[in-house]
Amino acid sequence: MIFDNHSHTTFSSDSEMEAEAAIEAAARQGLGLVFTEHYDYDYINTKHYKEMEFRFDAAGYWEKYLPYRGDSLRLGVEIGLSDISGEANRSFLQGAPFDLVIGSIHIIDMLDLYYPDFYADKSKEEAFGRYLSVMAEMLRQNSYIDVLGHIDYICRYAAYEDKELVYGDFAGAVDEVLKAAIENDVVMELNTRRLGDSRALQELLPVYRRYRELGGRYVTLGSDAHAAENIGMNFRTALEMAEELQLQAVTFRERKMEYCS
């Protein structure tokens, strides 16, 4: 069974997707599903913090969703990685026996990459360069994660005419991220949200081709759905891409990797 390994229900501050609706949407498509709720320890310290905490109680989550957990539904988390969140993340993960832990870069220097502030005083080269170097460093510091979330996250919000991560322009920095993932047994996520955009697809292919060349073998497919209609989004494209690049689609249960087919 192919799994959608990245989804957010109401335990995530920015999602109103009900668990039942998500499970139904996945089942209709014959997909397994992993809930990966947001835990961004740093978010309340950013200047855009208002009412959304991006934190939740691990034990409460586990208790509430445990009845749904089974062969086709797993319980995970997407934790935000930063210099100051390491200890908090580790203790958070003690709170429940998660199936899958995604590590993601959402905040750098206390600036949420979602907002223009991070880009305001930086050229694209500087912003993307810093993003990738932080990502490589966070992978080395947080090697306990199972999956690196959306390497192309910055492309969603970057305030530049060309938002794409062009491998040829950042080859050295991208290689450092891919090598850090491979050396620490962290699987690269193939985030499917942007794969419907032909330019995004065109620029992501060389990144994942390089991952394979450097020794990467596995990917998790993840839609990052915050609404039921986005579960499994662009999975056909993602599966074709994985097959072309000879990358094995995987999921996790009790933090152990399983092949998907």
Contact at 8 Å (CB) between 22 and 9?
Answer: yes
Place of tokens 């062969």: 71
Q: Smallest distance, Å, CB 215 to Zn ion?
A: 25
CB distance 173 to 129 below 8 Å: yes
Nearer of residues 154 and 260 to Zn ion, judged by Cβ: 154
Contacts of 207 (CB under 8 A, 6+ apart): 151, 152, 165, 167, 174, 178
CA 213 to chain CA centroid, Å, is: 22
- Radius of gyration of the chain from its Cα atoms, rounded to whole angstroms: 17
The answer to whether residues 250 and 17 touch, using CB atoms and an 8 Å cutoff, is: no
Give the residues lining the site for Zn ion (CB under 5 A): 78, 104, 149, 224
Looking at the Cβ atoms of 122 and 226, the one nearer to Zn ion is 226
Cβ 36 to Zn ion, closest distance in Å? 6
Nearer to Zn ion by Cβ, of 75 and 243: the residue is: 75
Q: Which is nearer to Zn ion, 78 or 112 (CB)?
A: 78
Shortest Å distance, C-beta 33 to Zn ion: 13
Shortest Cβ distance from residue 226 to Zn ion (Å)? 8
Measured from the CB atom, is 149 or 232 closer to Zn ion? Answer: 149
Query: CB of residue 8 vs Zn ion: minimum separation in angstroms?
Result: 6
CB of 245 to Zn ion, least distance (A): 23
List the Cα angle 137/59/88 in 5-degree steps.
30
Instruction: Give the burial string for 135-147 (b: 16+ CB within 10 Å, else e).
Output: bbbbbeebebbbb
Residue with the closest Cβ to Zn ion?
104
**Cα separation of 124 and 172, whole Å?**
16
Judged by beta carbon, residue 34 or residue 242, the one nearer Zn ion is 34
